[in-house]
Amino acid sequence: MSMGAGHAHPLYLDRASPIHRLPPEVKIVASVAYTVVVVITSRDAFWAFGCYALLILGVAALARIPPGWLASRALIEVPFVVFALLLPLVGGGERVTWLGLSLSVEGLLGAWNILIKGTLGVVSSLVLAATTPARDLIIGLDRLRCPAVIIQIATFMLRYTAVLVDEARRMRIARLSRGYNPRFLWQARALAAGVGSLFLRSYERGERVYLAMLSRGYTGRMPRLDTGGASAAQWASALTLPVAAALVAATALLQG
Amino acid sequence: MEHLALHISNGILNTPVWVGFMAVAAIALVICVQRGRRDLDDRLAPMAGLVAAFIFAVQMLNFPVLPGVSGHLLGGTLAALLVGPWLGAVCVSIVLIVQALVFADGGVTALGLNITNMALLGTAAGYLLIAALLRILPRTLTGLAVTSFVASVVSVVVAALGFVVQYALGGTTDVSLGGVAAAMVGVHLAIGVGEGLITAATVVTVARVRPDLVYALRRAPLAPAGQPGSITSVSAGGAA
């Protein structure tokens, strides 16, 4: 796990691409707007979803994200896929026969709806995550006028996640070097005590850091080191994705 | 598989329902932020960050519930115990927002639904139970452990029932409501037991070493261990 330096997260792909260089706030808006357009599209407009897929895969290619990386990370969806595959079997209403299976038409459409909207949403989030380090996401949310309390807690959350992971590794090494490696249910007490002391140790480190920040003039908001928000050109290029998707959706609506 | 989604995905519920709950969650979150800002002092600011980080980190460890189904901590009760209900709901919401953006766990359009269930309902149910149980049970570490455990189990099940209500309002599929309710409650009872154990273990350790950090004990501290009910006699025993 590499949550330490630069507060990257496990899904960040360090590349040099035009998408990586876009300011975070325009990427967040573009990604969310694209997902909203996908989700509100009627499930019978099959061709529209093909266009959406081409659009987001085009952005992924621009960001130099390998298709295999996207496919393996999209497996996060598996529980919903299982749920979706059950629908045609258990659904009611009109039925069709396919390969000897009697399937419900309503169930098939329901499964398609969940699969395609879920998958496109996951891919859209993955493109955002792969091109934006966690710290930049917080900066983006701040520039989008997210309340200061939320930004403050989210900033601490990212910093303390690294502290927690490091502290947990230290405690594990200490435990192993004393010849103790609890792995059975009846040894759960040791693990439970470990969780509690992990929390306390991390808090006390975090508290020291926080007091040090206060004494250096921290007032609840990190100083802005950047030169300000995104330019009009950057907004325009990032919003190409949701605007193109919205045009597809509008066409589908007029035809439907 | 290192990480499975259990947060509601895009497209599971219809548009009026997710838009409606997005509005509900946004309004409730504004109220929580305003009330929470009053609570946020020098002790709670780092604590709120750590609680969010802890929930975030522990959510990466999924524990098996049934074959093929794994669950993870929701965290509402832990947050309510350590930073109070308002900041607690804010902490859990932040975890959900960051997970939707950074891990693609839970759909962006389903954020309102997920925040309503896990951050608002889960934390509120947990906090109400904590407030009630701490009044009834003896003010000892055992009482606190029982409170944490029971409040966690109930809060997880309430969060699951939130989804059942949302599904009844606007499910995009025609799986029977009874089936959804039975599956959700069954799975989440098991998750709740795991969550209850983690929450109780964490809070009891914190209360033993740094009772000043437990928000739920601020007004009425626990009786010192070994001397039930006699807080004033500590001075006779010397330094702790």
DSSP, residue by residue, B58-101:
HHTS-EEEETTEEE----HHHHHHHHHHHHHHHHHHHHHHHHHH
The Cα A13–Cα A21 span in angstroms is 13
Rg of chain B on CA atoms, in Å: 19
Under DSSP, the state recorded for A229 is S
B102–A11 C-beta distance less than 8 A: yes
Give yes or no for residue A103 having a pLDDT over 90: no
pLDDT at residue A251 is higher than 50: yes
Nearest-CA residue of chain B relative to A189? B201
**Residue B10 is nearest to which of A121, A168, A207, comparing CB atoms?**
A121
CA B93 distance to own-chain centroid: 10
With a threshold of 0.90, tell me whether the complex ipTM lies above it: no
Q: What is the distance in angstroms between the Cα of A99 and the nearest Cα belonging to chain B?
A: 23
Q: What's the full length of chain B, in residues?
A: 240
Q: Output b/e per residue, B8-23; b: 16+ Cβ within 10 A.
A: bbbbbbeeebbbbbbe
On the question of pLDDT at B232 being above 50, the answer is no
- Rounded CA separation B239/A212 (Å): 28
Locate the domains of chain B by residue range: 15-223
Res. A30: pLDDT tops 80: yes
Q: Write b or e for each residue in B149-163: b if 16 or more Cβ atoms lie within 10 A of its Cβ, otherwise e.
A: bbbbbbbbbbbbbbb
Distance CA B196, CA B201 (A): 8
Top-confidence residue, B107 or A50:
A50
Separation CA A121–CA A34 (nearest Å): 8
A25/A182: higher pLDDT: A25
How far apart (Å, rounded) are the C-alpha atoms in residues B206 and A202? 11
The reply to whether residue A128 touches residue B101, judged by beta carbons under 8 angstroms, is yes
Asked if pLDDT for residue B240 goes beyond 50, the answer is: no
Residue B227 has pLDDT above 50, yes or no: no
Considering only alpha carbons, which residue of chain A is nearest residue B10? A118
| Model confidence band, residue B238 (pLDDT cutoffs 50, 70, 90) | very low
Averaging pLDDT over each range in A115-129, B141-155, B220-234, which range is the top one?
B141-155
Predicted local distance difference test score (pLDDT) of residue A93: 67
pLDDT tens-digit readout, A206-240: 888 888 988 998 887 777 666 667 888 999 988 99
Which residues in chain B have their CB less than 8 angstroms from residue A203's CB? 46-47, 50, 206, 210, 213
The one-character DSSP state at B223 is P
Give the model's pLDDT for residue B5: 41
pLDDT band at B235 (very low <50, low <70, confident <90, very high): very low
Q: Is A193 on the interface with B (CB under 8 A)?
A: yes
- In chain A, which residues have their Cβ closer than 8 Å to the Cβ of B95? 157
* Interval B95-112 mean pLDDT: 81
Nearest in space to B108 (alpha carbons), one of B197, B22, B3:
B22
Q: Give the residue from A114, A141, A199 with the most B CB atoms within 10 Å of its CB, the best one to mutate.
A: A199
The 10s digit of each residue's pLDDT in A32-66 is 999 999 988 888 889 999 999 999 999 999 999 99
Q: What is the pLDDT of residues B71-87, one digit of tens each?
A: 667 888 999 999 999 99
3-state secondary structure of A48: helix
From the list A61, A73, A70, the residue with the least C-alpha distance to A17 is A61
- Tell whether A60 is within 8 A of chain B (Cβ): no
Give A156's contacts in chain B (Cβ within 8 Å).
45-46, 48-50, 52-53
Q: Closest Cα of chain B to A133: distance in Å?
A: 9
Residue A2, pLDDT above cutoff 50: no
Tokens 């079997």, located at residue:
A89
Per mean pLDDT, which range of A156-170, A200-214, B127-141, B226-240 is the poorest? B226-240
Say how many residues make up chain A: 256
**Most confidently predicted of A133-137, A191-195, B113-117:** B113-117
For chain B, percent helix, then strand, then coil, each to nearest 5? 70, 5, 25
Decide if B11 and A118 are in contact by the 8 Å CB cutoff: yes
Report how far Cα A78 is from the mean position of its chain's Cα atoms. Answer: 16
From the list A126, A93, A8, the residue with the least C-alpha distance to B10 is: A126
Distance CA A246, CA A32 (A): 13
**Of B173 and B95, which is predicted with more confidence?**
B95
DSSP letter string, A166-183: HHHHHHHHHHHHTT----
Write down the architecture of domain B15-223 according to CATH: Orthogonal Bundle (1.10)
Point out the least confidently predicted range of A222-231, B198-207, B209-218: A222-231
pLDDT averaged over every residue in chain A = 83
Residues 148-187 of A with CB under 8 A from B: 149-150, 152-161, 163-165, 168
- Give yes or no for a contact between A121 and B108, defined as CB atoms under 8 angstroms apart: yes
Task: Give the pLDDT band of residue B116 (cuts 50, 70, 90).
Answer: very high
Mean pLDDT over B212-228 rounds to 74
Residue whose C-alpha is closest to residue B79's, from B191, B155, B138: B155
